[in-house]
Amino acid sequence: MNTISSARADEIIQRACVRADEIGMAACIAVVDAGAHLKAFRRMDGAFAGAVDVSQRKARTAALFPLPS
């Protein structure tokens, strides 16, 4: 199974936060490994509490069903 390092997961989180700031949005960002296990997560200040669960479920779905979206 492919794995993702903690350093790479942190980099993805940081880049996503920068992009969210650029578009003026507070986001919840979840990074999972190939087995759909949570590797890193961040809820930006101002992000909706409900987005915590949604972001993690979306990340797991993307890992388990590797299809174009």
Residues 12-68 have pLDDT tens digits of 999 999 999 999 999 999 999 999 999 999 999 999 999 999 999 999 999 999 888
The three-state secondary structure class of 32 is strand
DSSP-assigned beta bridge partners for residue 41: 30
Predicted local distance difference test score (pLDDT) of residue 49: 95
Is 6 a residue whose pLDDT tops 80? yes
How far is residue 2's CA from residue 34's CA, in Å, rounded to a whole number? 6
Q: How many CB atoms lie within 10 A of CB 47?
A: 17
> With a threshold of 0.85, does the pTM exceed it?
yes
Task: Decide if 53 contacts 26 (C-beta within 8 A).
Answer: no
Whether the per-residue pLDDT at 2 is higher than 90: the answer is no
Q: How far apart are CA 6 and CA 43, in angstroms?
A: 17
